[in-house]
């Protein structure tokens, strides 16, 4: 890891005009850069020091723009749906949030503890509800404010022919002002672990999952690599690097302080109806976007505990078809 960080620090310096400076100055800058590269450990916040998140729309994820292909990947990735997932698990979220000491309606607000990991908080909108899932800047570092963060500088220079080249001046300058070098497997591991390994004792006592046992190698291989896995390079996943990042963020011992929720039992013959909210995003393909709220009844197969596997699978299949049908009707 030390080797990788100093290697990226060296290339990082390539973008600065210090080549003709005395070596002592270069060493000081190298040390400074090393500190910058390794000294973040707060969750992926909207604000990291002086940097603020501008929001995924400023990344150019729409058609024909800079990061169209990254946007396409993202919209199919689990991180896109993290806010929706919180809204769907409302009962559980409210229970955790209340036990954590938050007002019931406030867990979706940009300045709540929950927003640190469950969504993208656009700078200046901290008091509003978050409505975008974990996004570009949660992983790559906040790009704003304009003129301060890497938003402008990372665009300098033309896109290199070799997609793996990091020599472009804009890339190098961006690393100096908050863009994380996620190519460095150590920094990447730390980025994932700071959200996926929950070490806040109060949150754990509020019955939030710990994130223990999360399979990082599998996650990189199956999800994240689809985002940047250029055909020209193997996916470099090193379980050891994740193990060290996990070990550096130990989960404290804790006792859950909230009572288990009462079982929700539907009255016989009456189907309980849950409202499912579908977030309407103009950039989402229409087939994913019914454009209105729809109502579905919960999965209630009415099978006995010892029902054969075949019957269970058929019940699941019928339910999926039913949900699909409702979604189409919502359009
Ligand atoms: C440090 C990051 C972090 C913070 C802070 C955080 N979460 Fe989470 N949360 C996660 C991750 C990662 C998962 C997925 C964990 C898993 O599946 O093991 C998760 C899962 C959940 C789930 C799903 C649980 C389930 O059983 O499916 C709920 C609900 C939830 N969080 C609510 C909250 C609420 C409410 C808050 C604020 C009080 C909050 N979270 C704060 C990272 C975080
Ligand atoms: C869950 C975390 C995560 C999210 C969300 C995410 N990325 Fe990435 N991104 C990564 C990782 C990890 C890499 C891999 C770096 C490497 O090894 O090259 C990467 C690589 C990239 C690269 C190539 C980087 C390089 O060094 O040349 C670009 C460009 C990029 N992402 C843009 C985006 C954009 C735009 C979005 C939002 C639409 C986004 N990313 C969302 C984690 C993320
Ligand atoms: C800003 C916080 C944050 C960061 C950074 C982040 N994640 Fe996540 N991730 C989440 C949350 C929250 C969920 C969804 C939990 C839920 O909705 O139940 C999630 C879901 C996932 C899932 C799908 C759920 C599962 O258990 O399979 C995968 C895979 C995943 N993340 C991998 C990664 C990897 C790999 C990285 C690092 C490159 C990363 N994440 C970085 C917050 C984050």
208 lines ligand 1 (CB under 6 A): yes
- DSSP per residue over 200-211, as a string? -HHHHHTT----
Q: What's the pLDDT at 48?
A: 64
138 lines ligand 3 (CB under 6 A): yes
Whether the CA torsion 3, 246, 194, 196 is positive or negative: it is: positive
Nearest to 185 by CA among 238, 226, 137: 238
Q: What's the pLDDT at 260?
A: 62
Question: How far apart, in whole angstroms, are the C-alpha atoms of residue 168 and residue 158?
Answer: 7
Q: How far away, in angstroms, is 266 Cα from ligand 1 center? A: 27
Question: How far apart, in whole angstroms, are the C-alpha atoms of residue 256 and residue 119?
Answer: 25
The secondary structure element, H or E, covering residue 149 is none
Beta-carbon neighbour count of residue 261 at 10 Å? Answer: 10
What are 274's strand-pairing partners? Answer: 296
209 lines ligand 1 (CB under 6 A): yes
- Structural domains in the chain? 40-247 (1.10.1130), 274-329 (no CATH)
Which residue, by CA, sits nearest to atom 9 of ligand 3?
Answer: 79
Nearest to 117 by CA among 207, 40, 44: 44
pLDDT digits over 19-76, tens only? Answer: 333 333 444 444 444 444 333 444 344 456 789 999 999 999 999 999 998 999 999 9
- Tell me, rounded to whole angstroms, the distance of Cα 180 from its chain centroid: 14
- pLDDT, mean of each 10-residue run, the chain (331 residues): 32 30 41 40 54 95 91 93 92 93 92 96 94 96 95 88 83 94 91 96 95 90 83 74 94 86 47 51 59 67 82 88 73 48
190 lines ligand 3 (CB under 6 A): no
Beta-carbon neighbour count of residue 140 at 10 Å? Answer: 20
């Amino acid at each position: 890891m030390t080797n990788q960080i100093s290697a990226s620090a060296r290339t990082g310096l390539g973008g600065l005009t210090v080549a003709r400076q005395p070596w002592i100055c270069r060493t000081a800058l190298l040390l400074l850069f090393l500190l910058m590269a390794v000294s973040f450990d707060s969750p992926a916040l909207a604000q990291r020091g002086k940097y603020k998140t501008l929001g995924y729309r400023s990344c150019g994820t729409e058609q024909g723009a800079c990061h169209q292909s990254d946007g396409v990947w993202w919209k199919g990735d689990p991180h896109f749906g993290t806010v929706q997932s919180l809204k769907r698990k409302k009962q559980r979220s409210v229970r955790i949030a209340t036990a954590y000491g938050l007002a019931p309606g406030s867990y979706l607000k940009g300045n709540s503890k929950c927003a640190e990991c469950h969504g993208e908080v656009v700078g200046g909108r901290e008091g509003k509800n978050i409505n975008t899932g974990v996004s570009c800047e949660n992983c790559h570092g906040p790009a704003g404010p304009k003129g301060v963060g890497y938003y402008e500088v990372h665009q300098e220079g033309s896109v290199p022919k070799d997609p793996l080249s990091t020599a472009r001046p804009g890339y190098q300058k961006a690393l100096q002002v908050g863009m994380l070098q996620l190519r460095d497997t150590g920094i990447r591991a730390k980025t994932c672990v700071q959200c996926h390994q929950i070490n806040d004792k109060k949150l754990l006592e509020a019955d939030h999952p710990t994130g223990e046992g999360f399979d990082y190698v599998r996650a990189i291989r199956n999800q994240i690599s689809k985002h940047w896995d250029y055909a020209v390079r193997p996916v470099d996943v090193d379980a050891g690097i994740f193990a060290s990042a996990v070990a550096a963020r130990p989960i404290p011992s804790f006792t859950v302080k909230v009572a288990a929720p009462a079982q929700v039992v539907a009255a016989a013959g009456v189907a309980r109806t849950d409202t499912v909210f579908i977030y309407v995003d103009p950039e989402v393909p229409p087939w994913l976007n019914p454009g209105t709220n729809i109502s579905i009844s919960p999965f209630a197969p009415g099978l006995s505990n010892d029902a054969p596997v075949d019957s269970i699978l058929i019940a699941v299949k019928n339910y999926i078809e039913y949900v699909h049908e409702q979604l189409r009707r919502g359009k």
